[in-house]
Structure 1
Amino acid sequence: MLTRLLTWIPTSAAPRLKAGLSGMPRAFWALWVGTLVNRIGTMVQPFFALYLTSGRGFSTAVAGTLLTVFAVGMLFSQLIAGWLADRFGRRATLLGGMLTSAALMVTIALSSSLYAFAVELFLLGLAIDVYRPASTALVADLIPERDRTRAYGLLFWAVNLGYTAGVLIGGALVALGFSTLFWVNSATCAAFGLLVWFAVDDRAAPPAPAPTGPDGSTAGSGFGAVLRDRVMCAFILITGGYAFVYMQTMSTLPLAMRADGLSPAAFGTAMAVNGVVISVVQPLAVGRLSRANPNRVLTVGMVLVGLGFGLNALASSVFGYSLTTVLWSLGEIAFTGASAATAVALAPPHLRGRYSGAYGFAWSLGGLPAPVVGAWLLDHGSAALWLTCAAIGLLAAVAQLLLGPAVARRITTADPAPTTTPTPAAVD
């Protein structure tokens, strides 16, 4: 079937696309489809600020406070989810997080009290990213180490395809009322959780039990084990630096473009370029990236992202910003799959959930100060902002290059494959 679907693709690209998509187990594709559906329905977050101000009549200051409360919940979401994934299992954690998110979406749509909004948004922040560590750990349980970069790259592809479609659909559904967005988002959250629960059998590759000492006690089974892992802590800091640079797309990039006299539509064009590059290049490159040295892939990805944002200092037109977007989008493609694969490769099998949660926390660590620090730098001139981003990106790349040998030593001693290899899905 896949061969027939690829007949419209150029002959030179079809083999690479087929190689990138083939050989994954059916359980993975169920997770992929669920991720796609969930991301298509993720249409509330981009419109939160408009909903709180235009839909509910809150002032800009109150809306900003409520969004901060939501962000604080998200800060701890993945850490809690990592513990839940190791303690109660990946499927149960993902299902619980998605059903909780679905319920909170409905309650927010029906609420009118400011205090109710604050509590519900905080709880939604805690629940909304629970699926990420559970999904990351589940892939590590089901997929051999050699294929994990490819698997995480394909999930990243699903996220971007779904999110792009979700923003477009959400923009159309706003005409029916903001509450429609919450109901649709709620339905897709529930659908994702239920699909994984019924279609993914994680008993085929269960998480390994925690090792026990001579007295029968469990050793190294908490987040303390993550904090004592110097290699992982260094990787978290490096990822946080990358996240600080990348998160400027959601905070200072539109402000910098406006300062250059460009309209909001120009920023939309740049983001559309990002979506197109990922949608087209990711499935074609994922096979080759998975065969490359992961440390080199990470280093090159950070260099491209650092240079892409740094070159914004020279951009002043839609065309110029679109060119820099192409550059950092290619870096994003390289970094995302390899970074998730590295995080789980560093984890002992019984701590994959916690390590995945710590990896997700690294994004919050870099993303939380990004808007404030980025805006402060922008006040001192766009060159100050973008050259700082370039410096951080390049420093992160150098740090990753130096960390690479220690990561490689750890990966060579890791369990190379799940206990039971699931039956691969047919692709022809």
Structure 2
Amino acid sequence: MIRWISRLSASIINPYRSLPSSVYILFLARIINRMGDFANFFLTLYLTRYLGFSEKQTGLVLSLVGISMMAGALMGGRLTDLAGRKKIMLTLQSLAALSVMICGFVPDRPLVAWLLLVFTFFNGAVRPINTALLTDLTSQEQRSAAFSLLYLGINIGVSAGPILAGFLFNHYRQWIFWGDGITTITTILLILFFIREPETSKIRVEQNEEHDNSSTLKALWNRPILAWYALITVFASFIYSQNSFTLPLQILKIFGDKGPRFFGIIMSFNAVVVIVLTPLLNHLCRRKRPLTRIALGYIFYGLGFGLLMFQIPHGFWFLISTLLWTTGEILDATNSGVFVSNHCPVNHRGRFNSLFLITRGGGRALAPLVSGFVLEYLGYSWMWGFCLVLGFFLAGSLKYLNKEDIRRKTS
């Protein structure tokens, strides 16, 4: 039994051992950066409780935050394919740190909402550059492990961050913003001193990644599997985004003043589940294609959020729900980047990744608008029921896309 456990552990860990050293630096940077990602987690509660926004107003602000992120991703993706990844990344992260630090000096004023739009813009611009840089540094065989490792880094940071943020939320609100800024600056220093700018001549070009000199939209049009997947990610993001809008509102409604603290526990539990299950799921699904894994993730999205149709006022019920939708999150997050990276031209890596960030941002922007309307006129059960049905529909759509992808490669 001990030998079997030892062999299983080795097989789970082995894919992470042969990655380039720069990937481990990015892993450490993700941990630090997300440990201080306080503002995003508590934005809904912050707007409603301290700034006095209604559900509709909060939904509008969150939609604007999503649009801001999409605009930033569009700019970042364009810049990263025209200039050096590292220089652009450091500049944009510095601007993000500055904008969130200013929020700490005006913590209870409506100006915070506008400053967070600026922060989200620069934060969104960094993301496609991050993904393009990771793709440059790895081969197709390494990418599943690399994306999985960085996703682990995010959640190792998140496992501690929300609990601390829950304390700061009630006692030292300005440190929600200052802490976010300080950890961003620490990340900047790590990348500045320990990661080299990839040389264009040494960037890996593999199957399905050859140069395409057409425009980004035409390059995407020539890859219909990717185009359809882009559309599907809008609705998948819509479901997932309920964890930052409908879920905290329901928790606040049920648990009252204890709501912010319990929501922090839920988010930390989400991160712990990711840390425990990500290597295991990566191992169990190692022979499955990325689209098959993502489709399974959408089923777990539907089941996890669908459970909340039954409004049971007990913390354990929310933990079960979180376990299920987090499993879906793992399968989606660790395989989406792999699938996109393995199908996009090397000279469009930044722009393609920004495009998929935009589609996900579209889902995030749409979620609070639609959810705010549904909650006001129909209630929570209808919202969660819609997520259940949509999750299963998207899973079926991806299975069809996967068959088409196999057919195109074998024909």
CA separation of 1:332 and 1:106: change in aligned 2, threshold 3 A: closer
Structure 1 unaligned runs (5+)? Answer: 1-6, 213-217, 414-428
2:292 aligns with: 296
The 1:254/1:13 distance shift into structure 2, 3 A limit, reads: farther
Q: Which residue among 173, 181, 188 is the counterpart of 1:178?
A: 173
**Aligned residue pairs, count:** 397
Q: Indicate conservation of the 8 Å contact 1:346/1:410, yes or no.
A: no
Match of 1:398 among 396, 399, 403: 396
- Aligned mate of 1:226, from 208, 220, 227: 220
CA contact (8 A) 2:78 2:351 kept: yes
Q: Which position in structure 2 is the counterpart of 1:148?
A: 143
Distance in 1 (CA, whole Å) between partners of 2:341 and 2:356 is 9
CA distance in 2, matches of 1:34, 1:410: 38
Give the aligned partner of residue 360 of structure 2: 363
Q: CA deviation at 1:385?
A: 1.9
Matching residue of 1:334: 331
Length-normalised TM-score, structure 1: 0.81
Please state how far the C-alpha of 1:83 moved relative to its aligned partner. Answer: 1.0
Cα RMSD between the aligned structures? 3.4
Q: Secondary structure at the match of 2:81?
A: helix
Determine which of 219, 232, 237 is the counterpart of 1:238: 232
What does residue range 15-34 of structure 1 map to in structure 2 within 5 Å?
15-34=10-29
Name the aligned partner's letter for residue 290 of structure 2.
Answer: P
8 A Cα contact 2:297 2:332, kept in partner: yes
Following superposition, the deviation at residue 313 of structure 1 comes to 2.2
Matches within 5 A, 1:257-268: 257=251, 264=259, 267-268=263-264
1:58-97 equivalences under 5 Å are 58-60=51-53, 64=58, 69-97=64-92
Contact 2:210 2:346 in 1 (8 A): no
Alpha-carbon distance change, 369 to 124 in structure 1, aligned in 2, over 3 angstroms: same
Checking the alignment, whether the CA contact within 8 Å between 1:221 and 1:350 is kept in structure 2 is no
Q: Distance in 2 between matches of 1:261 and 1:190?
A: 35
Tell me the residue number matched to 1:418: none
1:25 CA drift (Å): 0.9
Deviation for aligned residue 1:181: 3.4
SS in 2 for 1:198: helix
- Which residue matches 2:245? 251
Q: Residue 342 of structure 2 aligns to a residue in which SS?
A: helix
Please give the per-residue CA displacement for 1:205-248, whole angstroms capped at 9, x wherever unaligned: 4377x989xxxxx8314445335643222111111111111111
- Work out the CA distance in 1 between the residues paired with 2:351 and 2:306: 34
Closer, same or farther: CA 53–325 of 1 in aligned 2, 3 Å: closer
| Kept after mapping to 2: 8 A contact 1:300/1:334 | yes
Greater alpha carbon shift after TM alignment, 38-47 vs 343-352: 38-47
Per-residue CA deviation, residues 168-210 of structure 1 (Å, 9 max, x unaligned), is 23344557743333333222212222322332224254377x9
Q: CA deviation at 1:277?
A: 1.3
